[in-house]
A = this chain, B = another copy of it.
Amino acid sequence: MERRVNDRTRLVVIGGDAGGMSAASQARRRCGPDDLEIVALERGDHTSYSACGIPYLVGGTVPSADELIARDPATFIRDHAIDVRTGTEATDVDLDRRVVRTVDAQGAEREERFDRLMIATGAVPIRPDWPGSDAEGIFGVQTLADGIRVREYVDERRPRRAVVVGGGYIGLEMAEAFLERGMRVDLVEAAPEPMGTLDPDMGRLVREAVCAMGVEFHPGAKVTGFETAGGRVSAVVTEQAVHEADIVVLGMGVRPDSDLARRAGLRIGPTGGIAVDRRMRTSASDVWAAGDCVETFHRVSRAPVAIALGTHANKQGRVAGTNIGGGYAHFAGVVGTAITKICGLEVSRTGLNEKEAQRAGFEFETVTVESTTRAGYYPGATTMCLKLLAERRTGRLLGGQIVGRENAGKRVDVLATALWNDMSVEEVSGMDLGYAPPFSPVWDPVLIAARKLSEKTEASPG
């Protein structure tokens, strides 16, 4: 019997960034075009780009947006036989009829039949409905298109005063990018310290470095709206002050974009993310999801969590694609690792911070040590600050935070690996980490901190 093209299984992927395209690529790796047709719908123009690189594009470290694109639509079409349709938004999913309704840039509506569906709709930025929000010169920086728009605005309009609303990773990175472009930068933050994923005592170190570079930090600020002139933003207004602005970036975090999934009847978890199992299957058969739109399992708190990070999206997408393609893979969860470089400081964290540990119901002890990244006598040794949390009764490591200069931040991976394995701080303190004068004092900072914390817990055997 002749094989007919229509016999092919049809996979529709909604969302053409990390999660969606990882899944599509992995499914394709397992099933050739004769067995699996893959259509990927992307409402924007870009696929598979590094959102984390956007601040470097704006700051000028990265000269062109092309460098942030790992694979463009043409590459997927040509090399992977994945029918990528940019400018195409999925508006509805009908699980009974197995169709996705779409609308393209010209407003034309269509229906796409699917046998298997992959949802990777990403995240939506949190945007309060402040008066003046739609003025020219106010930007989010979530998508590559956003980043290109900010870069163009800066290149063309040469703004002199920037206000960044929100002192998280992206806000701080954008503040530094604007400094690099020669602007006066005000950073407006609701909390007392920036970098809310750190504890305030560690956030303070970041604030000091950012302020030393010239950023004006405004803590405890409550934005009420924007002033505009001729349709363009001219100031950010808070309950405390008016900050003049030629350009404004909003970096107040994101939430899972799970609306399409919710309307389709898929189960949504307590975090607002699409609920998935370890194989990235949603509550409906033959429907998978991955990336910023899902919630995942936090291995330390044992609770669901929604963390918008490209690394998770890539891994989850890969897992989904393996399973869609008939293999077996599972996603083992996260431990909450994050890292950034801000104004010369390396900042990283993993596990739970104090607030998160409290919320998860842990009783814990903390320790903060100052150490150096090299032997004290070796040139280039700089101080680094390392904070650890451990469960009081068992000594189980719960989290870690690092703020330091070069060669400090990536040490968080040791803590992430220790958390992954449910190690106690006493165990950590005995580990065989690399020592040589250019890399560490003879007692590695991680070991020192773990030892000191071990002595504070009730599990200390000594």
Contact = CB atoms under 8 A, between A and B. Distances in A.
B439 A410 contact: yes
A338 interface: yes
A68 B315 CA distance: 45
Interface in A407-462: 407, 409-414, 416-418, 420-421, 423, 427, 430-440, 442-444, 446, 461-462
A80 B421 CA distance: 38
A250 B436 CA distance: 20
B56 A378 contact: yes
A62 B437 CA distance: 11
Contacts of A375: 50, 52-53
Interface stretch (A2-10, A185-193, A263-271, A322-330): A322-330
- Determine the interface band of chain A, counting residues with CB < 8 A from chain B: 35 or more
Contact of A411 (B338, B339, B348, B413): B413
Contacts of A314: 442-443
Contacts of A376: 67
Contact of A311 (B315, B336, B420, B442): B442
A432 B311 contact: yes
Contact of A413 (B50, B322, B328, B413): B413
A432 B337 contact: yes
A230 interface: no
A309 B315 CA distance: 38
A420 B461 CA distance: 20
Total copies of the chain: 2
A324 B392 CA distance: 27
A203 to B, nearest CB: 17
A328 B432 contact: no
- The dominant DSSP class at the A interface is loop
Which among A53, A338, A341, A438 has the greatest number of chain B C-beta atoms within 10 A? A438
B52 A338 contact: no
Contacts of A70: 442
Contacts of A442: 18, 50, 52, 70, 310-311, 314
Contacts of A435: 52, 309-311, 339
Interface in A116-138: none
Contacts of A107: none
Nearest to A327: B462
Contact of A407 (B312, B350, B379, B407): B407
Given A377-B62, A407-B410, A416 B439 contact: no
Interface string A41-82: 000000000101100100001100001101000000000000
Contact of A61 (B52, B378, B409): B378
A416 B433 contact: yes
Given A337-B434, A339-B439, 12 more contacts: A70-B442, A311-B442, A333-B432, A337-B432, A348-B434, A409-B434, A413-B433, A416-B433, A417-B418, A417-B431, A417-B433, A421-B421
